[in-house]
Structure 1
């Protein structure tokens, strides 16, 4: 029970239209920026690594009467003066409350965006692992069948050396299959333990059925180009380790940049295995675009990504895209 409670994820509150409308700036005061249906990358004047992280907000009330109100009420009666001053303070309190509400909505939206990206990353990882295990199991099953045929032929021909070799090959293939099945089981348990408790019920009466997404065309093409994948245990384990590192570094696991970086790091880690592979690749020409990343697969440190939903929220709240991007970068460091 304790483990299930620890695995439960924090449920982010829904952002209702009513909440946004209450916190939104009047239409005439909203930032005059067009919302794109594609992700935009906002260029910051300074490196976002140099921005200070957001600290826990402390409410500093500043309800002092505006100089203009003081000037306008000089000729008024004491009652009118007190009423004007009180109204001025109320207006300031309402403005401050709206400001805090806008910032809260921005933080919730950003947290939801992070959660969605994390879910996509987990799904990509499971797809990659499923493709890898299926490939390796297919190779070992084929090796077992070949070893059985060789063993049968060796017995029929009464060739002791061939029998010994076939027996050794069969034992190796069977051991490899068991190793793969054990690795797959560990991976499956890791996925169950990291998933939210409500999304991974374990039935006591029904057998567990694995449901994986089909491997992406790029993953399948990469596996076809590297026929050692799933066959050579050392190279396969190194590839999986590099894959985990790239995922943690924020690479898009379905991009050309990811597979190029995977190949480059494999050559660095296993130079003797890639003697016949050309070490240097032709540079990829990139075209500047608001929705493109750099050739390394990572975004420059002075660029911040704003999704269409974040753009719409920023506009309704009266926050410029640039200010929203700055706050988002600070939230990332908090």
Structure 2
């Protein structure tokens, strides 16, 4: 190992040359050959050596006690095969995390789609429920008005019967007519004070309605309107209108369905019997609404789709709503038809 020669001169002593061998080091070890001992104090920048006044020569060797750094340790400890294995593990870990992230993204998208489908389905059902509630309210009001007209018609008929009995001097018919007139007035008074009951809101506003429940009121209204349009005297002639309303009440009490053809046939037959002069040459016209009404109901049902395709999101949504896929598909078909 090479040594450096450093010369020190002390002005107070005799001029002597000391040779000091220094090896690059952070620590110093002083080897004294004389009798006296010196205590060296090492400084970071300038080492200070204390010597005795003895003239004997001594050597100072500074040795670096720090462990030598081997530059080849890293390259020797880690082989290329180990680096390759490590890279494979890292890549496998990255692939696993990527797959988990993609799966989480797919699940999030599925939840969003299901939520959107649920919101759309709920809005449609709520709108349909409001329409049905409005239809029920209108139906109740119409029924109340019809009952009032029936009571008024019964009162008119009772007055006419009372007048005829009075003119004929028939006491029994007079009493009977008086009772009918009294009952008609009582009925009219009750109906005038009657109000349609308020609809109660369900705890769950989302209701599944069948196709028959939704489409049933439509043909009935069309047939009644068609019959009223064909019989222009209805609502104009008080006498004929009262008789028609009285017949309506009688047929309902007998259990005849107001939506059936028998109901309209009996009303028409009775009206022609009592007022034949009003129906001369109009027999064919009166029958036309009956033929047209038979076509209305099948026409609306024929528009319903025969096949409905549901997505997995819709099937999952149906399960969450407690519906079968068939019930969900039926409601979807109704919404498609109404759009």
Q: TM-score, normalised by structure 2?
A: 0.40
Q: TM-score, normalised by structure 1?
A: 0.41
Q: For CA contacts below 8 A with separation 6 or more, give which structure has more relative contact order.
A: 1
Structure exhibiting the larger radius of gyration computed from Cα positions? 2
